[in-house]
Amino acid sequence: MSRFTDALNEQVAYEFGASQQYIAIAVFYDAQTLPQLAAHFYRQAVEERNHAMMMVQYLLDADAEVAIPAVEAPQVSFPDVVAPVQLALDQEKRVTGQIQQLALTAREEGDLVAEQFMHWFLQEQREEVSSMSSLLDVVSRSKDDVMHVEDFLARETVGDAGVEAAAPAAAGGAL
């Protein structure tokens, strides 16, 4: 296997882990009867799962080995309503670094197809970090009255909800 293939298989674990973390965050907000925050993070969980499945499809298409890994357990308790969004932003920044490294690895190996595949993810991560930063700003300002966050999410579109025509195909289709 190439270094890129190994690294992409590892990234599949990180994407599934991110999905699990977003489910845990959604459940945290759902338990507090904050349906807009919960819905936002349930959507984020599906988006991260789909990212993993896009990577799986790429590996299948490249006739490369696919290793579906175990994932680390997510954090499930938080001290306040701001902490989950801060965790999500930190996670998106970490994933951005991982995606950048994948693109560089593909470039170093002279694998232009793999590098081109990673370009969509680089753009997606820019959007993810931007939208999560905005949400953190709103939640931080409204931490004493989180219903302002609920109102904000009810009227504003935060992120693209993973819907983009140029997105790579995901294994299993749009499940």
CATH class for the region spanning 3-155: mainly alpha
The residue-averaged pLDDT of 54-69 equals 95
- The pLDDT value given to residue 160: 56
* pLDDT tens for each residue of 77-92: 999 999 999 999 999 9
Residue extents of the structural domains in the chain: 3-155
Task: Say how far apart CA 33 and CA 137 lie, in whole Å.
Answer: 21
Q: How far is CA 16 from CA 31, 52, 144, 155, in A?
A: 23, 6, 32, 29
Q: What is the pLDDT of residue 164?
A: 62
Average pLDDT, the chain: 93
List the single range of 68-72, 91-95, 165-169 with lowest mean pLDDT.
165-169
**pTM value > 0.85:** yes
| pLDDT tens-digit series, residues 134-168 | 999 999 999 999 999 999 999 987 765 555 657 88
Cβ atoms of 133 and 100 closer than 8 Å? no
Query: In this predicted structure, what is the pLDDT of residue 170?
Result: 80
